[in-house]
Amino acid sequence: MKDRKNLVALICAAVVMGMTGAAFAAVPLYRLFCQVTGFDGTVKKAEAAPTQILDQSVLIRFDTNVRNLPMEFKAEQVSQRVRIGETGMAYFKVTNTSDQPIHATAAYNVVPERAGPYFQKLQCFCFEGQEIGPGETKEFPVQYFVAPEIATDAESQGVREITLSYTFFPTKGFQQAASGQSATGKAG
């Protein structure tokens, strides 16, 4: 009887630990799923530009946001018109307005969501975290294209405008840049 109770307790503990692990893994796994499939307006990373360029064009708008960071972030152009299949290049400027280094990552998506699988990037600052020094301004390029398959997809044929949106947020535990605290959590 005692062995049975111990077995039940062990199984319950394993289930709780497994569920806790699944909860922590859910966000990165969901993000990976969205990036691979283009689900929920998430842009995919491309290995190569398409070889086919269509006569149809799309207006790409750029939206920039900052969450809990002392920085300025803006696109050098508000929008660009590119032909479907053509590689476009956009530039973004980020300025750290504090006297502390900032470690940040840019999350991204596109609207309308149905354009997500077709809007793809060859190069982007959003693929990895960034460090911006105190008072430093950096310029980041984004090389992208709209895949020609968008023109034959029944749900996406009417897309003539796509908004690429970025939001920079603190990473690596460096939220003290916004709150004025050191990495140990003490005011500095």
Which of 79, 87, 168, 71 lies closest to 126, judged by CA? 168
pTM beyond cutoff 0.85: no
pLDDT tens digits, residue range 144-165? 999 999 999 988 878 999 999 9
Matching residue, tokens 């149905």? 114
pLDDT of residue 177 exceeding 70, the answer is: no
Mean pLDDT of all residues belonging to the chain: 81
pLDDT tens digits, residue range 24-74? 554 455 445 555 444 544 556 778 888 899 999 999 999 999 998 999 999
Sheet holding 88-96, edge to edge: 44-45, 119-123, 137-146, 88-96, 71-75
Averaged pLDDT for residues 83-105: 96
